[in-house]
Structure formats: structure tokens, C-alpha cells
Amino acid sequence: MKKIHEKKYILGIETSCDDTAIAIVDSERKILSNIVINQNNYHKEYGGIVPEIAARAHLTFIQTALEKSLKKSKKSINDIDLICATAGPGLIGGLIIGTTFAKTLSWSLKKPYVAVNHLEGHALTARLDSNIPYPYLLLLVSGGHTQLIVVKKCGVYERISTTLDDAVGETFDKGAKMLELSFPGGPEIENCGKKGNEQAFKLPRPMIKSSNPNFSFSGLKTAFSKLVSKTDIKNNKNDLAASFEKAITDCIIDRTRLGIKLFRKMSLKSEKTRLVVAGGVASNSKIRQELKELTTNENIDFYAPPLNLCTDNGAMIAWAGFERFKKYGPSNLNFKPKPRWPLDPEAFKNNPTMKRIGKKGIKA
């Protein structure tokens, strides 16, 4: 049996969407392996993720991902001390596959299992990469989520704002589809935008300068659809992409500026203000640059994970699971995956537009 202070090895499994990811991280924050097998070719012809196809692909890839991760880390499965897997929120098919795989390993190896909230994985990535102290303000921008969250400590979160309609990653994907670009749409919009004029077309900035801290992108998406329908895409694709990306970025910067103001009111005056950006959209270079400029002007610290830790990955799940294990202990093997699992389950009470609770639970 290992001594309590001896280095531990943590396995992280992430299957909440369309990436089959498995990583091995040690308790000293070293990433020994971080294997991600994406399914882009499976979903490209549909212009978006098909849940049933994603689930089948996870079944195909998960054992291969484990073998590659062990080989890369130069560890055997018996060296693993803790097994962590995303248990929500996400597509239920993928969540079931990942958690079942993790529970089976846990039971057969007699090693503890931790069910990890996917959003907590993103929230604690900066602690894996940079070991930043609590508390800090998190801007979570991904395909399914756009939120500003106060990260007080592991397991304790307060959501300042969320999107009232579409997530920013979804907005990028829909915009790319309108421009007849490939999937995933975010990188495609970014690549085209670099060659275009961001002032070429006028688009709305929903919620900008509003005292309501939430995000909204549906109006922008609708306006862009109307613009594209009456514009020659072939000769204006780059300008359309640049203008669309600029409008999205302006919305994010404006809402984040307000979030910083609210975070400062919640914090002690002696506490240093820190902003962390995480999620797949955090890999967008324009958004990262403008966030950096914002935090410089606000005189606060800014942390952005390396690009390979922005998109879904097993390393973030391993680390979040390790932090959770140290504080709360292992999860029960009866833990059921949750397609909806908010970090702040009380946040919906303060937002009238989020008060409806469906059979699947509170929206994340």
C-alpha cells in the first residue's frame, strides 16, 4: 500500500460529447499522457454531432484510448491509484459508456472511483496547469455552455451568469454551417476571419451594456442568417466570418467586464482578482487576445490554458477528480450519469428564465 504522501497516478476518462479522451496525470500536476480521439469525420456530413453515432464511436475507441494512454505514460494499469470519469453533463450515451468503463476498472482493480462534473473539469484546468489559488472568476465558453462562475474552492461555485439561449460554441457552429464551412465551425470561422475585414458587415451585439449579466446569441445568429441569405457568400466569406467573430467577441468581452465588476463586489478587497477562461472556445485566438487586453486594462491576472487543455480532454477530468477525492472521498459505484448537472444548482432560482425544470433536471 502506498504511503499517504507518495506520488499518485490518476486516470481521467472523458466521453461527454464527441471526443474519446483518456489521460494519466500524477498528483504533482504532471501530465504523463493525454490521448484524444476525435470523431469529426463521423459527424462532418451532418454539420453537427449526432448523439447515437457519438456513442457508438466511444464504444469503438475507448479501449484503444486507454492502451495508448498507458503506453505514452509508460505505466501499467496496476500503477493507477484513482479512476475518474465524466458523469455529466453531456450526451447520455457517451456518459454511460465512460462511466461504465471507469466503474468496471475500479471494481476489477479495487481502486477508488470518482464521478466528475465535466464543467468542474474545465473550472479546475487552471489549477492543473498553473496551480492558481482560489478564488477566481471563470469564463466558461464551449459548445454547450457560456457562463461566468465564481470558483470559490473545489465543489463550491457561484454562477454569475449564463446564456439565455444559445451557447457561444453552438453559435459558431451554426454560423459556419450558414457559410457552408466544415464542422467543427469555430476553427473554420476563425481561419476565414483572419483573412477578412471585421468591419465589413454590421451585426447586433445582444445584451451589450445591459445590467443583466447574462449572455444571449440567438438574435445575433438570426441576424447573421438573414445577412448571409442576401449576400454573395463566395466573394464575401472571409468578411462575413470576420464580422461574425467580432460580434461574438464583443459580446463576450462586454459580459466579462460586467462579471469582473460583480466578482469584485463579492470578493474581499484584499483578494487579488483573477480571470480564467476555459472550454473549447477558449482556444480562439481573437477571444484570448481581447480578454488579455481587458484584464490588462482592469489590472487583474489572466489565465488561459494551453490549447490542448481547452477542448475536452482526460487530463482535466483526472485533476478535477483528484481534487474532489482529496476533499470528498470516492464516489459510489451506483452513481448514475447526469445529462444535466449544474455546478451551482441554486443559480436557477435567481434567474426567472431558468426556473423551468424538466424531467432531466436543472439545466447546466
In-domain check, residue 252: no
In-domain check, residue 151: no
Question: For the chain, what is the total number of helices (H) and then of strands (E)?
Answer: 11, 10
- Rounded alpha-carbon distances, angstroms, from residue 252 to 161, 206, 287, 293, 352: 12, 10, 8, 13, 22
Name which of 1, 43, 35 is nearest 18 in CA terms: 43
For residue 29, what are the domain limits?
A: 9-125+309-354
Please count the structural domains in the chain.
1
pLDDT value of position 312 = 95
CATH number of the domain encompassing residue 109: 3.30.420.40
In-domain check, residue 209: no
> What is the signed CA dihedral for 197, 283, 362, 11, rounded to 10 degrees?
170
pLDDT value of position 46 = 77
pLDDT value of position 197 = 98
In-domain check, residue 34: yes
Helix 285-298 × helix 185-193 angle, to 10°: 80
In-domain check, residue 130: no
CA atoms of 234 and 358, how far apart (whole Å): 43
In-domain check, residue 108: yes
pLDDT value of position 363 = 54
User: Where would I find the beta strands (DSSP E) of 110-176?
Assistant: 113-117, 136-141, 146-153, 156-161
3-state DSSP call for residue 175?
Answer: helix
pTM exceeds 0.85, yes or no? yes
In-domain check, residue 22: yes
* pLDDT tens across the length of the chain (364 residues): 455 568 999 999 999 999 999 999 999 999 999 999 988 777 777 777 888 999 999 999 999 999 999 999 999 999 999 999 999 999 999 999 999 999 999 999 999 999 999 999 999 999 999 999 999 999 999 988 999 999 999 999 999 999 999 999 999 999 999 999 988 899 999 999 999 999 999 999 999 999 999 999 999 999 999 999 999 999 999 999 999 999 999 999 999 999 999 999 988 666 789 999 999 999 999 999 999 999 999 999 999 999 999 999 999 999 999 999 999 999 999 999 999 999 999 887 766 454 444 444 445 5
In-domain check, residue 114: yes
DSSP designation for 349:
G
